[in-house]
Structure 1
C-alpha cells in the first residue's frame, strides 16, 4: 500500500495548530502589523477581510540565496514553483493546476511587477527579471477573482519593490555554495526631500548541478518616487536583465535519470543547446487623490526583450523538411501598454463601499526568425535562414470591481472584465515547400466574479466566491497547424472555465493565521498536445477538464522567537473527456486514445511545506524545513510519472549590530539526506525526456551587510 509523502506534514500541522490555539492564553500576545494587499481588490485591504484566497510573502528570512522566485513561494498553498536547475528555461510555476502544461516560460498565471505586466497579451510570461533583492513583498491571488486580470488568469503573482527608507540604507550581500553557485548584490534605498529611491544591482553565476548547465545572470532594478505634493505622486520603475549563453541540459529519460542524474542528453552537447536573454523595461506610474472619495492611477510601460536559443533539432530533420523553421530561434520583442484606473471610496446606503474601474491595453510586436543550427558539418552554430515573420498580439480590456460592507458581519465583492485579444502574423519567408503562413485570429470574453465574506466571529471569517475565466492559446501554440497546413492554427479555441471556492480564515490570536479552502474549476476546450513532428509541437482542444482540491496553511508563533509555517495542497486535476494524442516524436496525427479521468500532466497529487524557525532581530538564528511533493504525471496518457519525495533543509546564522552596521552571517544545507529527486518535469516531451533532476545535498554560506545613517 502506497502512502503520500505529504501526509506526515499534515498530521504534524494539525497537532501544531491545536497546540497554538489552546496555548494562546499561556503567554502574552505579540503585536504585529497586519499585512496589506492590493492584488485582490485593487485597493488596500487586509487579507483577513478579503473574500478570496490571497497571501503575502514579505522579505524571506535571512540565509537564502534568494535568486529564484520559487524560494519565496514555498509556503503558499495551491502554488507549485519548481526550480528547474536550468537557467535557459524560466522557473516552472502553476497555481491550482493552471499553467502546468508549460514546457518553457510561464502560462496560465498572470505576472506583475509593481503593477506592470510581466505576462504578454497572449498569456505567456517570465519571472527571470523579478529583482528579489529590492522587493518588499510578493502577493499571490488564487481562485475566481484572478479572472479580473484578464487572459490566462489561473492565478496572479505580483512583486512589489520596496519604497525608499528613512534613514537611508546601503545593503551588500555575498553568498556562495555547491555547484558553483555565487551571488553578489548591492542595494541603496533612502529618501531625499520629495524623492525616495531603491536601486539594486546583482550578479549570479552557477556551474550547474548537471553537466552542460552553467549560467550567468546580471540584473538591475530601480524604483524612483517623486511626491509632488500631498495628493500627487509619480513613480518610475526601471529594470534590466542580461543572461548570456545559459546552457540548456535538456531533460532525461527515466533510464538516463536512474543511470546518472547529472548527465545530459547527448544532443545537448552535440548542438551546444543554450539560450541568451537581454531585456530592458521602463514603467511610469502617476497617482492622484482628487478628494476624500476619489482618486485615479495611470500607468504606462515599454520594454524590449531579445531571445536567442539554440535547439537540438537534428540536422537531417531540417534538411528533409522544406517547411522546417530550423534549430535556432531568434526573437526580437518590443512590448508596452498602459492601465488607467479610477477608485471611489465612500459609502453606499450608509455602509463602506469601494469601486475600482479602468481600462488596460497591452501590445507585443515580435520579429521571429529561425535558422539552421549547422553550417556544413559544424553543429550548434547559426546557419541559413528558415523562418522570418512579424507577429503581433494586443489586448484591450475594460474592468470594474467593487467591495461593499453591507452589514457589520457581511461584505460583498464583485466585478467583471471584458477582454479582447487579437493575434496577427505576417510571413516574410515564402519559398518552395514553405507557403505563406500569414494570418490573424481574434478572441474575446466577458468574465464576471462574485464573492461574499461572513464574519462568524472576530477570529473567524468564512467566504465563498464564483466566477468565469478564459485562456487564449499563446503564439507558441498558434504557430503550427496540426494538419501541417500553412498559417496559424485558426481552429484552436480559447479555454473557458467556471471557478468556485469556499474558505475559512482564522486568526485566533495575534501572531497566528490559518486558512483552509475548497476549490473547483471546470474547463472546456482545455489545450493539449496534438502532434510532435520534426521539432514542431501542435495543439488541440479537449472538451472538458476539471481541477478540484483543498489547500490549507498555518503561520503561527509557538513561543518567544519560535515560528511555525505550514502549507498543504491536495489537487485532483483530470481530463473529463476522452481524446486522441501522439506518443512519439514521429507522430504525424493523433492516434492513441486518452481515457476520460486521466490525470492532467505536470500537476502533483499533493504538495506540502513545513518550517520551524528560531531567531530574533539579533543573535542566533536557526531553522529546519521540509518540502514534500506527490507523484506527478508527465504525459497525457498517464503512463509515466515523476515519483514523490520529501527533502529536508537546515539553516543557521548569527546577526549582530554595531553602530550603523547590521551583519548577518549564515549557512544552509539543503536535501540533508542526499536524496535523488526529480525537481521538475517537461510535460509531453516528444523524445520521452520528461525529467529534470534536482541536486543532492548542497551547501550555502554567506554574509549580508546593512548600513544605516
Structure 2
C-alpha cells in the first residue's frame, strides 16, 4: 500500500467528470459551484455535498468515446469499474462490489429518472438502456442505504435528456456510426418543448459481429420521457422503455487457450460441450413504464411520488442447460422535502418510503444445440423489499453543514419448486435493519470544502445468488452488512480542481462466487473484508476560454484509485486465506486524459487507462495481467444557419493494440478466467440535428 501511496503523490489527478450539460458555456462547465448534486435529495452544489459523488454529462457519455456504451465513460471515474465481457454483457463495480457479479449488475442500486430500475430481487437490467438516450449520470459511491435502501456498493442516478423548460426548443437528431468487427448503428431523437411540457422520444439500434467467436449482439431500444406542468403546483411525468437485446456469450478461457487464440470461444471438453456447439447466448426483452407526480404545497414543502411496473422475458441457452425466465416487477417511491426552518439555522427534512415486489418464474431445460430439451426444474420466486427513510440537514454556524439520516430496510423471499413432489414453498425473511448515516461538511472560503461521514450498508442476497445457475436454492445465504468511514476535501483554485477522498469499509458476511466444472455458479458467505481506499481527481485548464479565442478548452485530467482490500476470518475449505487481497479489485487504477476544443469546431479527446495486476481467485494463486488502454477521438462540430448542427468524428480504441481481458470470470473453475477484449479498432460516425 505504501508504494502506491507514494506513487499517487506524483500523479496528476482530475475532476473532469464534473461538467454540466453541453449547452452550458465552457466557463460554467468548470465551476464546481455550478454542478448540482441530486443524490441524497439535497440539490446542492457539489462543493456543499458531504458525499463522494461523480457526475457524467451527455458530453462524457456520447462524445468522448466513439462507441455508444456506458462502459468507457464509467471507467473514467475513480472507484468505479465496468466490464463488458462480450458486447452487451455489462458488469458494474463501485468500490469492489464486482466480486458478487459473474454477470449483470448487483449490489448497486440504479434509478432512472427517479424510478427504481433495480428490482426487489436485487437485479438490474442496465444493458436494456441505450446510452444515447441518457443525458446525465450521477454515481454515489459507498453505502447509501439511509436514503436508497439495500446495497453496499453505491447508487447510480440516470436522467434522460428531456426536462421542462420555458425556453426549450424543438429538436430532432439523426445519427449513424460504423466500426471494426461489424459494428454499426443508428439513432433517432425528437424533442419538443412548450412552456408547460417537454417530450422526448428516442429510438436506437446497435449491432456488432464481435471480436471473439460467438460474440455477436444487437439491441433495439425505444424510450419515451414526457413531463407536463399541470399548474404552477403540479408536474406529471411519464417514462417508458422497451428494449430488445441479444448477445452471444463466448465463455471464459484458460490462460493457455487465451494465449493460443484469444478470439476463440470456450471449446468443448470431455465433460461439457463448448459455447459454439450449444449456441450460448442471452435473449432479453424488457418493458418498463413509470409515472411521476410532483406537488409543491408551498415554497417550503414539496412531494414527489413515482409508480412503476416492469416486464422482462429472458432466455439463456447455456453450456449445460437452457434457462427461461419471466420477471414481473411493480413498486413505488415517495419523497417529501420540507424546509422546516429558513432563518437562523436553515434546516431541511427529507422523508419517505419505497416499496417493491417482484414475481419471477424460472424454468431450466436441457440444452440441445440452442434449443430447450427436457424440463429440469420449474421454480417460482417472489421477492419483496421496503424502505422507510428520513434525513435531516442543517446549515450550522461557521459554514458547517450537518446531515443525519436513518432508514428501515426489510427484505423477504419465497421460493417454490413445482418440478419436485411434494411441492414445498420455502420462505426466507431477513430481520429489518436500521441504517444510519451522519456527515459533517465545512466550507473553507468560497471554493474549498472538507467533509467526513459515517454510513452503514446492508445488502441481501439477490435472486440470482440464492437460486443461481447451479439450480439449487440456498436458504442459508446471509446478507452483507458493513460500516464505512470516509473523509474528503474538494475545491477549485483558479484553473485547478481537486477532489480527494479516503475511506475504510468493514464488510461482514461478504458474498462471493464459486463455480463447478460446467461453469454453473453458486454463492457463499466468505467471512469479512477490510476495504481501505483512496480516490482522487484533479484537473487543470491550460487556457482561460474567451469568446474570440481559437482555443476554447484545453485541459488535462487524471483520476486515480488506490485500494487495499483484504479478507478477514475467511476459511476456504481447509485453507485459511485471511489476509489475502479481495478478488477482482486492482490495487491501482490510473486514468489520464486530455481534452481540447476550438472555436472553429474541431475537438479532440485522449484517454489512457492503467490497471494494475489483481487476484482472480480468493486464494490469490492467479493474477490478472497489467492492462494499458489508449483511446482517442477526433471530431468536428459546427452550427450551420443557426439551427442545424453537424458533428462528425472518428475514434480509435485500444490504440496500443494490447491483448487483454476486459472482464475476468472471478473464481472460475479450471482457471477459465479470461474473456479477451478487442484488439485495435476504430469507429466513425456523424450526427445531424436541427432546432426550431
Q: 2:374 aligned with 1:384, yes or no?
A: yes
Indicate the larger mover: 349-358 or 566-575: 349-358
Query: What RMSD, in angstroms, separates the aligned Cα atoms of the two structures?
Result: 2.4
C-alpha separation in 2, matches of 1:75 and 1:607: 10
1:342 to 330, 333, 336: 336
Equivalent position to 2:227, from 206, 225, 228: 225
- Which residue in the other structure is 2:290 paired with? 283
> d(CA) in 2 for partners of 1:255 and 1:615?
45
Does 1:259 find its partner at 2:271? no
Partner of 1:693: 676
What does residue 150 of structure 1 align with? 149
Aligned-partner SS, 1:133? helix
Whether contact under 8 Å (2:514, 2:668) holds in the other structure is no
1:573 is matched with 565
- Counterpart Cα distance in 2 of 1:38 and 1:506: 15
Pair 1:454 & 2:456 matched: no
Quickly say closer, same or farther: Cα 1:500–1:336, change in 2 above 3 A: same
How far is the alpha carbon of 1:534 from its aligned partner?
Answer: 5.7
2:115 paired residue number = 116
Cα deviations across residues 201-242 of structure 1 (Å, max 9, x unaligned)?
A: 000000001111001000011100110011110000000100
Please, which moves more after superposition, 412-421 or 529-538? 529-538
Partner of 2:525: 541
> Could you tell me how far apart the structure 1 residues matched to 2:174 and 2:9 are?
38
Report the counterpart of residue 474 of structure 1 in structure 2: 462
Deviation at 1:573, TM superposition (A): 1.5
How far apart in 1 are the matches of 2:189 and 2:675? 33
User: Are 1:441 and 2:428 matched, yes or no?
Assistant: yes
- Residue 494 of structure 1 corresponds to 479
Change (3 A) 1:7 1:146: farther
1:634 aligns with 2:635: no
- The yes-or-no answer on 1:212 pairing with 2:214 is yes
- For normalisation by structure 1, the TM-score amounts to 0.89
Q: Who is 2:46 aligned against?
A: 47
The TM-score with structure 2 as length reference comes to 0.91
SS of the counterpart of 1:41?
A: helix
Aligned pairs (5 A) from 1:35-74: 35-61=34-60, 62=63, 64-74=65-75
Gap change, CA 1:10 and 1:564, over 3 Å in 2: farther
Structure-to-structure mapping, 1:239-254, within 5 angstroms: 239-244=241-246, 246-254=247-255
Shift of 1:512: 4.2
- Summarize the alignment of residues 124-139 of structure 1 with structure 2, pairs less than 5 Å apart: 124-139=123-138
Go from structure 1 to structure 2 and tell me whether the alpha carbon gap of 1:678 and 1:530 turns closer, same or farther (over 3 Å shift). Answer: closer
**Which shows bigger deviation, 466-475 or 339-348?**
339-348
Give the match for residue 535 of structure 2.
Answer: 551
Distance in 1 (CA, whole Å) between partners of 2:232 and 2:311 is 34
Secondary structure, aligned partner of 1:678 = coil
Contact 1:68 1:83 in 2 (8 A): no
Deviations 1:167-200 (A, max 9, x none): 1111111111111111210111121352211110
Superposed, 1:604-683 pairs within 5 Å as 604-616=586-598, 618-659=600-641, 660-683=643-666
2:507 corresponds to 1:507: no
Deviation at 1:547, TM superposition (A): 1.1
Q: Distance in 2 between matches of 1:700 and 1:574?
A: 40
Distance 1:390 1:618 in 2: 60
Aligned length: 658
- 5+ long unaligned stretches in structure 2: 16-25, 268-273, 546-552
CA distance in 2, matches of 1:123, 1:35: 34
Deviations 1:503-522 (A, max 9, x none): 0011112x643100001100
Matched-pair contact (CA < 8 Å) for 2:152–2:482? no
Matched, 1:370 2:372: no
Q: CA deviation at 1:556?
A: 3.5
Query: In the alignment, is the contact (CA less than 8 A) between 1:461 and 1:505 conserved in 2?
Result: yes
Contact 2:512 2:526 in 1 (8 A): yes
User: Aligned with 2:290: secondary structure?
Assistant: strand
1:12 positional shift: 4.6
Could you say if the C-alpha distance between residues 676 and 135 of structure 1 is closer, same or farther in structure 2, counting changes exceeding 3 Å? Answer: same
Q: Aligned partners of 2:288 and 2:513: how far apart in 1?
A: 33
* In structure 1, distance between residues paired with 2:125 and 2:228: 29
**Aligned counterpart for 2:387 among listed residues 397, 408, 424:** 397
How far 1:567 sits from its partner (Å)? 0.5
Aligned to 2:85: 84
Contact in 2 for aligned 1:366/1:390 (Cα 8 Å):
yes
Q: How far off is 1:651 after superposition? A: 1.6
Conserved in 1, the CA contact under 8 Å of 2:145 and 2:435? Answer: no
Report the Cα distance in structure 1 between the residues aligned to 2:394 and 2:466, rounded to whole angstroms: 41
Matched, 1:520 2:522: no
Post-superposition offset of 1:162: 1.8
Residue 578 (structure 2) pairs with residue 596 (structure 1):
yes
Structure-2 separation of matches of 1:346 and 1:508: 34
Structure 2 distance, partners of 1:618, 1:344, is 48
Within the candidate set 307, 313, 320, 2:314 is matched to 307
Could you tell me how far apart the structure 2 residues matched to 1:234 and 1:204 are?
32
Aligned counterparts of 2:87 and 2:427: Cα–Cα separation in 1: 34
Q: Aligned-pair distance for 1:142?
A: 0.9
In 2 relative to 1, CA 437–627 (structure 1 residues): closer, same or farther, beyond 3 Å? Answer: farther
Query: Would you say the 8 A contact 2:64–2:605 is kept in 1?
Result: no
Q: CA deviation at 1:436?
A: 4.7
- Tell me the CA shift for residue 97 of structure 1: 0.8
